[in-house]
Structure 1
Amino acid sequence: MTIWVSSRFRAPPLSDEIRPVKVVSLLAPWDEFPVFPHLDDGQHLRLAFEDVEADDETPDPPMPEHVEQLIEFISDWDRNDPILIHCWAGVSRSTASAFITACLLNPDRDESEIADLLREASPTAKPNRQLVTFADSLLGRNGRMLKAVMTMKPHTYAEDAEPFALPTQFDDVRGHWV
């Protein structure tokens, strides 16, 4: 199935359209989390932290626990229905989480291949490197996830990125993403 990525304000109408079985919201602690009426609390993960890439005295930086919660939440997703991941702009926290999700679900796939697919899907994707660093360690990828996002083609600036979809599985027989 599909990982959908969106900004905060495009997430509710997109959710109405695609009817995800799970939603991940990654917003700052002071932001209002959207409501997804068709989901119960166990289907909506709300993570509150600032979009920074290093703890430079920011009071609410991303922490390893945030990535642990994301991984735990994604781990029981059966992939029969879409998942929606959003942050404020749909550029950094959400694209990092989509990349982490794709790596988690494809443990034998090359991280650069997944990062290239992310870039193809969204010219504005700029995955939060702190989140990717934590996931890289938790998933035992030995620095390959961080290297993959650091070597992605440059992103295009956006304050509110266009929603996009990322597949969850690579089909070795046909040689392309499904």
Structure 2
Amino acid sequence: MSAIVVAPLARIAEMAVRHRSREMISLIAKEQAFHRPAVISAERHLLLGMNDITFAGTGGLVAPQEAHVQAIIDFAITWDRSAPLLIHCWMGVSRSPAAALIAALAVYPEEDDVLLVRRLRSASPHATPNARLIQIGDQMLGRDGRLMEAIRAIGRGADADGNAPFVLTLDEPVS
């Protein structure tokens, strides 16, 4: 079974070891420093500098861009799926769940958006995927608004303490 592990920054080493992840996507502000877990090779670590905002032009903050989403898609397509892909942001609530959905649909384009998003909500009552990443991903993956609509249908997640990693399975359909 293919899976994507979504985690807050504070738990990436633990999650990488627990799930035997060897590949990782980091979505964090440019100035944030952190150490890549030793089990993740530098060649299979995608680092994307962006802030958790939904529109461009917010002071010195970096909004998610098409180039970021294209990098997620390209990285996901080359993920060998023999071990879970680890995706993280600062809290594991907004940017990384959005990136997980984009990666899942890049790898399995036949996946039903509604079922995938319901699986996300079932795995994490706290996830509130970044709307800008979702909008760009929806367009770039040719989802014709289905991904955005599925996200709107589940609504905002519950308040989170930023310490709740989760696993998004990709091979098991939701009933």
Q: TM-score, normalised by structure 2?
A: 0.92
Matches within 5 A, 1:45-124: 45-59=46-60, 60-124=62-126
Q: Could you tell me whether the CA contact under 8 Å between 2:16 and 2:22 is conserved in 1? A: no
Q: Which residue of 1 aligns with 2:24?
A: 23
Q: Pick which of 149-158 and 132-141 moved more.
A: 149-158
Q: Could you tell me whether the CA contact under 8 Å between 1:27 and 1:33 is conserved in 2? A: no
For 2:20, the aligned partner's letter is: R
Q: Which residue of 2 aligns with 1:37?
A: 38
Q: Could you tell me whether the CA contact under 8 Å between 2:123 and 2:167 is conserved in 1? A: yes
Q: Which residue of 2 aligns with 1:169?
A: 171
Q: Could you tell me whether the CA contact under 8 Å between 2:7 and 2:166 is conserved in 1? A: yes
Once the two structures are superposed, residues 121-163 of structure 1 have per-residue CA deviations (whole angstroms, 9 ceiling, x without a partner) of: 0000000010011111111111111111111144111131411
Q: Could you tell me whether the CA contact under 8 Å between 1:124 and 1:161 is conserved in 2? A: no
Q: What is the CA distance between 1:56 and its match in structure 2?
A: 4.2
Once the two structures are superposed, residues 47-92 of structure 1 have per-residue CA deviations (whole angstroms, 9 ceiling, x without a partner) of: 1111001124343111110010111111011211111001000100
SS at match of 1:146: helix
- The answer to whether 1:158 aligns with 2:169 is no
CA RMSD of aligned residues (A): 1.4
User: Percent identity at matched positions?
Assistant: 33
Q: Which residue of 1 aligns with 2:15?
A: 14
For 1:73, the aligned partner's letter is: F
How has the CA–CA distance of structure 1 residues 157 and 56 changed in structure 2, closer, same or farther, with 3 Å as cutoff? Answer: farther
Q: What is the CA distance between 1:103 and its match in structure 2?
A: 1.8
Q: What is the CA distance between 1:45 and its match in structure 2?
A: 0.7
> Given the alignment, which residue of 147, 150, 159 partners 1:148?
150
Alignment gaps of 5+ in structure 1: 171-175
Q: Distance in 2 between matches of 1:161 and 1:152?
A: 21
Q: Which residue of 2 aligns with 1:173?
A: none
